[in-house]
């Protein structure tokens, strides 16, 4: 059984490839020369003509969602069309928590992609991933230095897990049967508030760190001042507003059941950061 992983040079794609070691696996990427150890083919989400050949002979396509906000529906349609043309056996798509009802703005692109996949007639599984813990540690040194976690999430809880946890689940679903037609709501075993995250960071580094809740527009401006592009900053701030209303407070236990162990806690993750 040939398993093809898209976005193979990205953070999640790399981890999924690692989890699939020992299987007949192929990598698809814009820069296939950057992939080591497996058959790698050119497949560019913005160049549909590269995709059908990249997917030829694929039994299971692990479709890692694109990262270009606002462009993903077009890019994802190209992926699905190529999967149809290449006669892919099944598709596993990395979506978002409750994609069909989630108020977070970026969920609309995931919802639309899920509909495209359903309409394709190809057997599918939706891996509806919650937030990555890494979302909160990309600038951990700055957080500790300034003593503050910024956001607009209020007391909303997030069932985040590590990319490694999500990658392990994708590999399990890719290599086992019984998942067709399912939408797995995947996330951490314990949801947390950003206040609790700040407290965990303070304990880990032995320095005072607090959560500073900001109005959405103020938070977006703060992100822009850190170099985040305006559109992405707005999307992140709006996501926090939805988190405040419970959009990512979804604890199902499905991730830990798939990977056969508890998900990584905030404290465990910080110990490795």
The DSSP result for 57-98, as a single string, is: T-SEEEEPPP--TTTHHHHHHHHHHHHHHTT-SEEEEEEETT
Q: How confident is the model at residue 203 (pLDDT cuts 50, 70, 90)?
A: very high
Q: Which residues, 6+ apart, have CB-to-CB distance to 59 below 8 Å?
A: 1, 2, 3, 88, 89, 90
- pLDDT tens figures, 8-53: 999 999 999 999 999 999 999 999 999 988 999 999 999 999 999 9
Given a cut of 90, whether residue 252 has pLDDT beyond it is yes
Helices (H), the chain: 11-19, 51-55, 72-85, 107-120, 140-146, 163-175, 194-205, 216-225, 230-244, 254-259, 266-271
Tokens 């303070």, residue? Answer: 202
User: pTM for the full model?
Assistant: 0.96
- What was the pLDDT predicted at 139? 86
- What was the pLDDT predicted at 39? 93
CA-based torsion, 103, 105, 110, 113: positive or negative: positive
99-117: average pLDDT: 97
Please give the Cα distance from 139 to 210 (Å, whole number). Answer: 15
Given a cut of 90, whether residue 273 has pLDDT beyond it is no
Q: Which residues, 6+ apart, have CB-to-CB distance to 49 below 8 Å?
A: none
- What was the pLDDT predicted at 249? 98
Given a cut of 90, whether residue 110 has pLDDT beyond it is yes
How many other CB atoms sit within 10 Å of the CB of residue 57?
13
Architecture of domain 3-129+163-185+251-259 in this structure: 3-Layer(aba) Sandwich (3.40)
User: By C-alpha distance, which of 67, 82, 156 is closest to 117?
Assistant: 82
Structural domain boundaries in the chain: 3-129+163-185+251-259
Residue 112 has φ and ψ, to the nearest 5°, of -65, -40
- What was the pLDDT predicted at 123? 98
72-100: average pLDDT: 97
């Amino acid at each position: 059984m040939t398993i093809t992983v898209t976005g193979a040079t990205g953070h999640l794609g790399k981890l999924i490839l690692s989890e699939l070691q020992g299987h007949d696996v192929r990598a698809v990427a814009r820069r296939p020369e950057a992939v080591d150890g497996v058959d790698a083919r050119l497949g560019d989400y913005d160049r549909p003509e590269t995709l059908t050949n990249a997917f030829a002979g694929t039994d299971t396509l692990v479709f890692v969602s694109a990262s270009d906000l606002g462009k993903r529906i077009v890019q994802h349609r190209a992926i699905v069309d190529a999967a149809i043309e290449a006669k892919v056996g099944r598709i596993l798509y990395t979506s978002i928590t409750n994609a069909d009802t989630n108020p977070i703005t970026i969920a609309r692109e995931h919802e639309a992609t899920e509909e495209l996949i359903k309409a394709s007639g190809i057997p599918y599984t939706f891996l509806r991933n919650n937030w990555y813990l890494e979302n909160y540690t990309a600038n951990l040194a700055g957080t500790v230095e300034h003593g503050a976690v910024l956001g607009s999430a209020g007391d909303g809880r997030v069932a985040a897990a590590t990319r490694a946890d999500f990658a392990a689940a994708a590999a399990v679903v890719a290599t086992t049967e019984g998942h067709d037609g399912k939408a797995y709501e995947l996330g951490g075993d314990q949801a947390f508030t950003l206040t609790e995250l700040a407290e965990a960071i303070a304990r880990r580094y032995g320095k005072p760190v607090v959560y500073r809740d900001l109005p959405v527009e103020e938070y977006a401006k703060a992100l822009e001042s850190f170099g985040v592009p305006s559109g992405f900053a707005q999307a992140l701030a709006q996501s926090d507003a939805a988190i405040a209303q419970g959009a990512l407070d979804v604890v199902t236990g499905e991730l830990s059941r798939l990977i056969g162990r508890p998900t990584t806690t905030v404290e465990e993750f910080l110990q490795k950061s």
